[in-house]
A and B are shown apart, each in its own frame.
Chain A
Amino acid sequence: MSDKKQVSRRQFLNYTLTGVGGFMAAGMLAPMVRFAIDPVLKPSAAGEFAAVVEESEITNEPQRFNWKVDQKDGWYESEVEKNAWVYKDENGEIVALSPICTHLGCTVDWNSQEQFPDEFYCPCHGGRYTKDGVNVPNTPPTAPLPVYEHKVEEGMLYLGQAISRGSGI
């Protein structure tokens, strides 16, 4: 027998068995790990934008636009109609406001009351908001109207999620 370290039959079998066993374990574990972290890897639906209207149609006067999005509520998928009041402010910036009153959730109207011109008005309890969506003090709402995330691509306005603006005034 030489001095060189030789792999004994027992060691050889040990190595090969560990190797094969390791492969099998890895083969079983990999899908399991993938399942476990699957929710993390899913692209989030939150950042999705939907095409709403051509930019050229947007004026300085708020207009109401509707669009539809697929909403997943647990396993229940449905098509939900969304809408927004969209206008360009004095700097030409597009503003898209959610029409849902922050008081109890009615739909607000633009400029519908003669005594409150150029304001958003909630017909349910007389809540009022200025043109930028900020609630008028001493009316029922306690927060400004949420603002939609927006982007313009190839002349088309895309709206995303409505971002709440906290408790405001």
Chain B
Amino acid sequence: MKWNQHDISQYVEAKEYIDTLIVPLIPFGAKKDEQMKTQAFQKELLTMFVNEIEKEYKGRIVLLPEYYYLSGKVNEETARLNHWVEEFTELPFEHVFLFTFDVNWRKASKDVDGEVIWLPGLQSGNLQSSEAQSFIKEQVSQIAEMIRSYW
């Protein structure tokens, strides 16, 4: 279920079947040109990526709106992020997966109420290219398997 009217009204009708939450964590900043380019690209990539996962398991997953934050400020974000997650785990949601390409979450993951899944991403490239597409397909099928192992 995506965060849109149609899906969410479906979710409200069928709450008992949906117990998994996905939040994409997306950093951005304006300090360095190169970094901006990479972050913009990785934002697109991650969005595509979580959409694919959502498509696969639509009936059991809610994909929350992206969580944006200034890059490099991961430690300051954990409290706010936990608020987000808490709000939904009360519904209840049993499994919370936070997807990111930002390696800084690795260290901070112990303070976060949920599974932080760090993905080694591509730096740049063409999202329409077959290379990127097969990269996404490959990772999605593995992540899907991982999510299934939690259920």
Contacts and interface: CB of A to CB of B under 8 A. Distances in A.
Interface of A: 101, 103-107, 122-125, 140
A104 B60 contact: yes
B56 A107 contact: yes
A123 B60 CA distance: 9
Chain B: interface secondary structure?
loop
B142 to A, nearest CB: 14
Interface of B: 10, 14, 17-18, 55-60, 148, 151
B57 A106 contact: yes
Contacts of A124: 17, 57-60
B17 A123 contact: no
B10, B17, B59, B148: most-surrounded residue (chain A CB, <10 A):
B59
Contact of A106 (B10, B14, B56): B56
Contacts of B10: 104
Chain A: interface secondary structure?
loop
A117 B55 CA distance: 24
A104 B148 contact: no
A145 to B, nearest CB: 14
B138 to A, nearest CB: 15
A21 to B, nearest CB: 52
A107 to B, nearest CB: 5
A105 B58 contact: yes
B94 to A, nearest CB: 13
A123 B148 contact: yes
A146 to B, nearest CB: 15
A110 B57 CA distance: 15
Nearest to A104: B59
